[in-house]
Amino acid sequence: MSERDYYEVLGISRDASPDDIKKAYRKLARKYHPDVNPDDPTAEDKFKEVKQAYDVLSDPQKRAGYDQFGSSAFGEGGYQSGPRGFGDFAGFGDIFDMFFGGGFGSTSAGRARNQPRQGSDLRYDLRITLEEAVSGAGRDIELLRTETCPRCKGTGAEPGTHPTTCNVCGGTGQIKQVRQTALGQMVNVAPCNACGGTGQIITSPCSTCKGRGKVRRKRRIQVSVPPGVDTGSQIRISNEGEAGDRGGPPGDLYVYITVKPHRYFTRQGANILYEAPLTFTQAALGAEIEVPTLHGKAKLTIPQGTQPGARFRLRGKGVPHLRRGGRGDQHVRVTVQVPTRLTAKQRELLQELDETLQKEKTEERSFFEKMRDAFGAN
């Protein structure tokens, strides 16, 4: 049986780090998980393929074996994922499982149903202010999640009672049927109906969870938002996701950050853009102005003859870099305000100024005059 290359399956290079492998697996597993793709019959096979590749590559010993010998290191048909150790003897039915990837007519969920399984990851969307993104923040969030029932500790059975082993499937949670066909012997594996695939029958269900072993709970969780996060940043909080099944660990909680737009500041990566309005005399004469920043007020010297749109930089007044330390800059873009209302005195002064400017203009024709001439207007 030919197998696809495990590195190819996960879309990673041969020298991928354990972290890369885990990341690639998480991404693909989420994409192809049968629960997410109930209508896509190929998703399950892809999911199995990804899981198999991950099982091998995430284990340094198995990975080394695979690198050296390929999937033949794990016997014909590729490495069989499951609780059995590498090299253990596989029973008769399992050899068929190996060839047929878990058996016809069964689902991977059915197969894993009576084994411990990690809980699902949870997502929480958190909106923060730009100030919080810059300084970091501690936030309490409230979420509804599934937890292991505290009364029965997840067994589903009323305290003092015990679940009994299902006598239909003998506790395996699966029903196997061996059939003779033209192609030879085939094994059909399906979840046991009597116990719902769990292998156990609960005779006295827990009064709190009604036998499900889990309860929905509202929880307050403290999230520490590090300085420098941006919209799209994710904060992972281990083990704060949904409860696992049958003693499996809980999933993780992912907090997705959205930074709200700010009234005055625009963020561009680690830099902040701020527009500073100047009077036209400040722009012409130069000035010392005070500019707000996310780290308090800062002084900025405007040189004389500053044009509208000119940019100045306040070093280190931007957003902290998330990983490498240090901060971005604040850029100040100047706008020049033209007065709309003038007192008689101001008008007089400006007219006087205008006459001197006109005189200069005749000596040195301005760009605008040249434009006017070019378009033939007066």
Sites of contact with Zn ion (CB under 5 A): 149, 151-152, 166, 168-169, 192, 194-195, 206, 208-209
Q: How far apart are CA 3 and CA 99, in angstroms?
A: 12
Question: In angstroms, what is the minimal distance from the CB of 314 to Zn ion?
Answer: 59
Nearer residue to Zn ion within complex by CB, 169 or 257: 169
Nearer residue to Zn ion within complex by CB, 169 or 300: 169
Question: In angstroms, what is the minimal distance from the CB of 174 to Zn ion?
Answer: 8
Nearer residue to Zn ion within complex by CB, 113 or 267: 113
138-156 as b/e: b if 16+ CB within 10 A: eeebebebbbbbebbebbb
Nearer residue to Zn ion within complex by CB, 161 or 271: 161
CA 222 to chain CA centroid, nearest Å: 18
> Own/partner pairs for 79-88, CB < 8 Å, 24+ apart?
79/52, 79/55, 81/51, 81/52, 81/55, 83/115, 86/61, 86/62
62 pairs with which residues across the strands?
Answer: none
Nearer residue to Zn ion within complex by CB, 187 or 314: 187
Nearer residue to Zn ion within complex by CB, 63 or 212: 212
Question: In angstroms, what is the minimal distance from the CB of 75 to Zn ion?
Answer: 29
Q: If you count DSSP H runs as helices and E runs as strands, how many of each does the chain have, helices first? A: 10, 15
Structural contact between residues 258 and 125, judged by C-beta atoms closer than 8 angstroms: yes
Question: In angstroms, what is the minimal distance from the CB of 207 to Zn ion?
Answer: 8
Residue tagged 């991928």 (tokens): 16
Question: In angstroms, what is the minimal distance from the CB of 203 to Zn ion?
Answer: 14
Residue tagged 């505290």 (tokens): 150
Burial of 205 per CB tally in 10 Å (0-12, 13-18, 19+): middle
Residue spans of beta strands (DSSP E) within 281-344: 287-293, 296-302, 311-314, 330-337
Question: In angstroms, what is the minimal distance from the CB of 158 to Zn ion?
Answer: 8
Nearer residue to Zn ion within complex by CB, 118 or 208: 208
> Own/partner pairs for 244-249, CB < 8 Å, 24+ apart?
244/116, 244/117, 244/118, 244/119, 244/148, 245/116, 245/117, 245/119, 245/213, 246/114, 246/115, 246/116, 246/117, 246/154, 246/198, 247/116, 247/154, 248/116, 248/117, 248/118, 248/119, 249/118, 249/119
Question: In angstroms, what is the minimal distance from the CB of 143 to Zn ion?
Answer: 21
Nearer residue to Zn ion within complex by CB, 153 or 365: 153
Nearer residue to Zn ion within complex by CB, 168 or 298: 168
Question: In angstroms, what is the minimal distance from the CB of 106 to Zn ion?
Answer: 14
Nearer residue to Zn ion within complex by CB, 168 or 237: 168
Question: In angstroms, what is the minimal distance from the CB of 197 to Zn ion?
Answer: 7
Question: In angstroms, what is the minimal distance from the CB of 119 to Zn ion?
Answer: 16
- Of 96, 245, 112, the closest CA to residue 173 belongs to 112
